[in-house]
Structure 1
């Protein structure tokens, strides 16, 4: 049975703006209050998806959450019509309005943690939507993401959906941005590497919050019915969190039998990689390929350079059974050191044989690169066939989405534009049409 890793990218929503809501995300804070370009942002994201299709990768589209989140604003004490609520919130608490307008569901790597059917004891793909409780603007996402995933992956014969973890600090969960599956082939059992920022007795960062907890990762591994030899929990280095590595996918990325990461990514990294290799050998004692790990040291790239370039937030995709391509953000071209690091990677003994640069400047300015935009789901042909077909990108859907974006999205969005009483109705009209395009009727319920 043929398996593939399928990418489901978050479509960037019409309310894309720069409110600087994410503490510890240096790019987000740096661009706080800047003019955003929603139309360009969505087109850049769509072009990235389309490029994956051109490279022979199956590619799904995840629609954005409805914004502003009027339910949350009502729960925060604002009342009346949508226009009145927007006016009140902008006047009295503009930071709350900005949070409820955030287009952050675009970063689908935080949508959920996914376990492949080849790994789970019941042979099903498991989904746990992330609770994202560290920040307000992201904590409201699960209410939309959970039912969305249930509609797209809606056959209980193949898919099992869990509720988000309890909204309590011990169980802070940021989804697949802190999860990497390493495997010989996608149809073979793999190792699920869970990276957490804090545990009960572990050292913690001093400046920025550690968003993923040991307890959350442990619960998800248990929920998803992962055998002990199919999982490894490792702690993220708190020193790199304090340098802006708010998720593990800012400093590490893996695909199939290849893992690349900075030498400062993990606590006790030498021992953790030794344990990883031991588990790999236990799962694959007499078969190839071997697990290949490439570590970058400060001589190639400092942590600060990794954060500014987002090299490790690149995507790795299979070109064939042996070769991989790195899809890197164009920010990597702005630094000679980063370009040299990529050249060193390609020349080293690993499966990466080429690089391609993707322009995602609008997303990058808010702290999200190629890997942030996608949720990876390893799937068999049968599982793929059981998935809602209208979300898979082909030329027809690509053309319709491009026309839809150009029709409905504003060219510019400034912080003060969130006070525009007409913006909610514009977004509502756009998303109602999108639901029809993706054949997801009733996906959005608006309060006007």
Structure 2
């Protein structure tokens, strides 16, 4: 069956800020307390999405979540109006307020794991929103993500599951730890789940391993996958300790090609052999391995070479790597990209894209998107208001310019006026994306 791979980018919200909440995310920690530009960030993200739509790819938008999450603060004992809740919580615990103001839902790669209908037993497209149980600021996202996915992907063609139980045994970080390889998008493929730890093991790493094997196996079962076509691979502790908090910081793949750093997997030889065995009879996987001598792991992480979008572009017989502009500015990654495209390998072009506002918070071009393989019938069932086109782009840019601040300091999160600004913006957005007048909790 024919199918395309669409990219649904997280629309960056009006409270985009650098609170530095993510332990193990080197860029996030480095820029803790810096002044962000919500307007600059959303325009960067929309520009990236529009460029891919202009190139002929199907590009969608996932709505931002409402911030701050005042209901979460109420569950922690704060009471009164939303303004009172915020002011009291800010005086008592500013760090807690920064957590409920987190900008992290913008990274749609963490929104869910997605299995296309070609892989599932019931021939429906399955999505499981990530529970993001490892960090406080991300653990509040799951239910809202589920609601958003139901709004963007309505109808019987799609099965949006509830997040896994919010417990460390089933810690799940979404598609950032998931790769699908295939001969063609509409044909059965191999789903690769990458985990950092197994439940109950004693973790001795510098940074936490966020994804568990148990969560990966649970999602594969829930999606009705053929376990012979699933591969469960342990991410290298060396990569996690270097700052690769998700697998997509050291690995990306599409179609037959897996592009990865040599330190991505704990047992590289075994991992690649498992992929070959799972793909037997379907396709021959192509491995593009980047040596430590060519790109040191520290450069791979600081430039986010592997947090690029690996894309099959219309009319091209080789893949394109949509990479952060930081890869062009880093000697080792720039030189490697020149060498990569000069050969006859599967990746023939590198495009450098400016998403610095996201990069400073620890997310590159691949973090901003959720890949969804869609048949023509499934694409026709997607909420059309959430698909990018010229008019949608202009409308969203005008909306952002009308509602977003140009600069935001983390201490501005204590300003009650920011709640009203954000809610006014999101209330208007629900009409633009046809989400309904009761999409956000504050609208109910």
- Check whether the contact 1:182–1:258 (CA below 8 A) recurs between aligned residues: yes
Aligned Cα RMSD in Å? 1.3
Q: Which secondary structure state, in structure 2, belongs to the residue aligned with residue 113 of structure 1? A: strand
Distance in 1, Cα, partners of 2:267 & 2:134 = 25
Distance in 1, Cα, partners of 2:33 & 2:200 = 38
Matches within 5 A, 1:144-223: 144-156=144-156, 158-200=157-199, 204-223=203-222
Residue from 357, 365, 370 that aligns with 1:370: 365
Q: Tell me the alpha carbon deviations over residues 242-269 of structure 1, each in whole angstroms, 9 at most, x when there is no partner.
A: 1100000000000111111011100111
Residue from 270, 274, 290 that aligns with 1:296: 290
Q: Tell me the alpha carbon deviations over residues 389-432 of structure 1, each in whole angstroms, 9 at most, x when there is no partner.
A: 11001001000000001110001001211111111000000000
- Check whether the contact 2:182–2:282 (CA below 8 A) recurs between aligned residues: no
Deviation at 1:88?
1.2
Q: Which secondary structure state, in structure 1, belongs to the residue aligned with residue 179 of structure 2? A: strand
Match of 1:140 in 2: 140
- Check whether the contact 1:70–1:447 (CA below 8 A) recurs between aligned residues: no
Q: Which secondary structure state, in structure 2, belongs to the residue aligned with residue 446 of structure 1? A: helix
Structure 1 pair 116/205, CA: closer, same or farther in 2 (3 Å)?
Answer: farther
Match of 1:445 in 2: 441
Q: Tell me the alpha carbon deviations over residues 109-141 of structure 1, each in whole angstroms, 9 at most, x when there is no partner.
A: 000000010001111100100000111111011
Aligned length: 442
Distance in 2, Cα, partners of 1:387 & 1:229 = 30
Match of 1:432 in 2: 427
Residue from 264, 285, 303 that aligns with 1:309: 303
Structure 1 pair 313/205, CA: closer, same or farther in 2 (3 Å)?
Answer: farther
Q: Which secondary structure state, in structure 1, belongs to the residue aligned with residue 371 of structure 2? A: strand
**TM-score, structure 1 length as denominator?**
0.96
Q: Tell me the alpha carbon deviations over residues 131-167 of structure 1, each in whole angstroms, 9 at most, x when there is no partner.
A: 00111111011121111111211111x1112111011
- Check whether the contact 1:19–1:33 (CA below 8 A) recurs between aligned residues: yes
Distance in 2, Cα, partners of 1:247 & 1:84 = 37
Deviation at 1:324?
1.1
Match of 1:326 in 2: 321
Match of 2:254 in 1: 255
Match of 1:287 in 2: none
Deviation at 1:279?
2.0
Matches within 5 A, 1:29-428: 29-156=29-156, 158-200=157-199, 204-284=203-283, 290-319=284-313, 320=315, 322-428=317-423
Q: Could you list the runs of 5+ residues in structure 1 that have no partner in the other structure?
A: 285-289
Deviates more, 1:341-350 or 1:45-54: 341-350
Q: Could you list the runs of 5+ residues in structure 2 that have no partner in the other structure?
A: none
- Check whether the contact 1:323–1:353 (CA below 8 A) recurs between aligned residues: yes
- Check whether the contact 1:229–1:283 (CA below 8 A) recurs between aligned residues: no
Distance in 2, Cα, partners of 1:151 & 1:413 = 30
Distance in 2, Cα, partners of 1:309 & 1:60 = 26
Distance in 2, Cα, partners of 1:350 & 1:155 = 40
Distance in 2, Cα, partners of 1:39 & 1:347 = 37
Q: Which secondary structure state, in structure 1, belongs to the residue aligned with residue 95 of structure 2? A: helix
Q: Tell me the alpha carbon deviations over residues 15-74 of structure 1, each in whole angstroms, 9 at most, x when there is no partner.
A: 000000000000000000001111000000000000110111011101100011010011
**TM-score, structure 2 length as denominator?**
0.97
Deviation at 1:323?
1.6
Q: Which secondary structure state, in structure 2, belongs to the residue aligned with residue 209 of structure 1? A: coil
Distance in 2, Cα, partners of 1:191 & 1:78 = 47
User: Deviation above 6 Å: which 4+ runs of structure 1?
Assistant: none
Structure 1 pair 370/19, CA: closer, same or farther in 2 (3 Å)?
Answer: same
Q: Which secondary structure state, in structure 1, belongs to the residue aligned with residue 280 of structure 2? A: helix
Deviation at 1:201?
7.2
Distance in 1, Cα, partners of 2:215 & 2:140 = 18
